[in-house]
Amino acid sequence: MPVKKSRRPAKAKADVLRGARIEHHPVYRTPVRVYDIEAPASRRDPRAIADRYVKQLAPKLSVDPADLKFDKVNESILGSHVLYQQQHDGMPISRAWLRVDVGKDGRVFQVMNDLVPAPAMTKARRQTALMKSREEAKVLSGEEADANALNAVRATDSGKTTVSEHELLYLPVKDVPVLCWKVIVTTEKPAGSWKIYVDAYSGAIIERIDLLKRTTGKGQVFDPNPVVALNDPTLEDSSAIPQTAYQTVVLQGLKGTGVLDGDYVTTRTTVNRATSSSHEFVFVRSDRAFKEVMVYFHIDRVRRHLTTLGFDGVMARAIEVNIDGETDDNSHYDPATKALTFGTGGVDDAEDAEIILHEYGHAIQDDQVPGFGEGSETGAMGEGFGDFLAASFFADMKPASMRPTIGNWDATAYSGEMPPSLRRLDSNKKYPKDLNGDVHDDGEIWSACLWQLRGELGRLTAERLVIAHHHLLTRTSKFEEAANALIAADKQLNGGKNEKTIRDIFIRRGILPNPKRKNFRAGVPFSGISAAV
């Protein structure tokens, strides 16, 4: 008589979200951020770890893993960040990204999810099928989409306009992917760069995004500028600047070509740039080439500082700089060309190292999170980080009254403050009551938090945390998400020992809710109180 073999009970699959903290989509309730994950350590390749985790997580995200296309792995001091983009009908869905953050020990510690969930994808498939069934429905050619995008820019901008790239893809509109063309348009006068989404069937403009990262005031080598070097806030653009305001410096990383081309900076987009066969570029302020030396030295130095902080992979390229490409008192970083342009209104912007570092801050963020700044709060964080980078880097060499300010030389052309400044980092603004929609004004809320963080943790710890947490953000992250990302970064870098300090700063500012006060925010006023007594 045959012996009946007993079967072992099937082993239950481990819950990939066990013990994790989860933030949910407001409509679909799918996880949009998963963190504090209790994942096991692994010696496998980070992509293999992420691929396996994504396969297990996909049902909980309400997505088909077959629709996810691996993009790349970004390495940082926090570990590896594995990126996937969602596809529909064989084409990418813009902004539909999944990022799996894997620590150096092989543990998955965070997931950021911007994917389109199944209910919305069902609507998208129905719409796609309907449009394909209509005889009159015709997809615009790339040339037709370019023409519509150019017209959209010409409606408000004059001067030469050029299409630098276009791509047929899907864009979520009210969460449902719609077929459209993404067109990048650049303008010369005034300098501009635009991302235009054009409906692939109707030709209508779905969305228009200004890509330039701008600042409103700009200002040899000065280190950082003559107002600080001389401790003289009464200086003006027309003032005679004594030799004591200048510093003799070493220009590192030169390529030996007789021009200012180096490891991290090149002035190749500057017309008629300085040349020297002896590689000596010694000029004074009245020489136009002085500004070239300013941008080269200060950008090169701060980029080498990133390496000392552990960010050797961030901005590992020579950024192109035009020292006087704008006649306005304005400067910008263009994510389409990945280049910097400085203005000459008032005090020339490239004469003030704090303005230079502010603009370079935009390039750093765009390198860490391509497209960073497409949300209003993300844009404000971009301005706030630029201010923080400039202020933190130069604070220890500035008089006490100028430390929480930036652009003291640039601002002599327009500021009535004493000392003159472009902006301050010690405001008492709170979130959300002091938001006004201007990224520079709202950026003062964010920079004030980062400045407090520097005061509590010290310069190097704060700078390392601030730059590291960018790896955990998306192009549209909000203040609260970024505050939580700082906490997550601290857990990876410092074992979480600074979490209380970080939370306290952002709770007092209103960015994080206060659990001791029923999760109310410090920056939300009680509207029921009458001003009259």
Show the 3-state SS of 89-134.
CCEEEEEEEEEEEECCCCCEEEEEECCCCHHHHHHHHHHHHHHHHC
Q: 512 in a domain, yes or no?
A: yes
CB 216 within 8 A of CB 223: no
Helix axes 439-457, 376-394, angle to 10 degrees: 50
Cα separations in angstroms, 239 against 110, 156, 233, 286: 54, 38, 12, 12
Q: 136 in a domain, yes or no?
A: no
CB 363 within 8 A of CB 340: yes
Residue 235 amino acid letter: L
Say whether the peptide bond before residue 224 is cis (omega within 30 degrees of 0): yes
Q: What CATH number is associated with residue 414?
A: 1.10.390.10
First to last CA, the chain: 97
How deeply is 126 buried, as exposed, middle or buried, from its count of CB atoms within 10 A (0-12, 13-18, 19+)? exposed
pTM recorded for the entire structure: 0.88
The reply to whether 149 and 30 lie within a common domain is no
pLDDT < 70 regions, the chain: 1-14, 135-136, 155-159, 189-190, 214-219, 526-533
The pLDDT, as a whole number, for residue 215 is 62
The pLDDT, as a whole number, for residue 275 is 93
Residue that terminates a domain, selected from 115, 131, 153: 115
Domain that holds residue 194: 142-210
The reply to whether 204 and 275 lie within a common domain is no
Q: Which of 385, 284, 279 is nearest to 333 (CA)?
A: 385
Cα separations in angstroms, 475 against 24, 142, 440, 463: 18, 26, 17, 20
Cα gap 68→215, rounded to integer Å: 37
Q: Which of 519, 506, 517 is nearest to 478 (CA)?
A: 506
The reply to whether 314 and 343 lie within a common domain is yes
The reply to whether 311 and 243 lie within a common domain is yes
Given CA atoms 433, 439, 441, 443 in this order, what sign does their dihedral have?
positive
Report the greatest alpha carbon distance in the chain. Answer: 110
The reply to whether 350 and 314 lie within a common domain is yes
Given CA atoms 217, 219, 225, 231 in this order, what sign does their dihedral have?
negative
Q: What does the angle CA 169 – CA 193 – CA 177 come to, to the nearest 5 degrees?
A: 20
CB 515 within 8 A of CB 522: no
How many domains, in total, are found in the chain?
3
The reply to whether 410 and 396 lie within a common domain is yes
The reply to whether 289 and 372 lie within a common domain is yes
Torsion of CA 161, 165, 261, 368, to 10 degrees: 120
Q: 524 in a domain, yes or no?
A: no
Q: Which of 397, 413, 395 is nearest to 405 (CA)?
A: 395
The reply to whether 57 and 172 lie within a common domain is no
Which stretches of 270-400 are DSSP H helices? Answer: 289-309, 353-368, 376-394
Q: 146 in a domain, yes or no?
A: yes
The reply to whether 170 and 222 lie within a common domain is no
Question: In DSSP terms, which residues pair with 23 in a beta bridge?
Answer: 33
What is the enclosing helix (H) or strand (E) of 423?
A: strand 423-424
The reply to whether 204 and 223 lie within a common domain is no
Residues 6+ apart with CB under 8 A from 527: none
CB 363 within 8 A of CB 339: no
| Coil, helix or strand at residue 388 | helix
The reply to whether 152 and 108 lie within a common domain is no
Q: Indicate the DSSP class of residue 515.
A: G
The pLDDT, as a whole number, for residue 41 is 95
Cα gap 127→177, rounded to integer Å: 9
Residue with the two structure tokens 């933030």: 23
SS3 content of the chain, % helix, strand, coil (to 5): 35, 20, 45
The pLDDT, as a whole number, for residue 158 is 54
Q: What CATH number is associated with residue 81?
A: 3.30.310.160
The pLDDT, as a whole number, for residue 156 is 53
Q: What is the pLDDT of residues 208-266, one digit of tens each?
A: 998 887 664 533 799 999 999 999 999 999 999 999 999 998 889 988 889 999 999 99
The reply to whether 222 and 336 lie within a common domain is yes
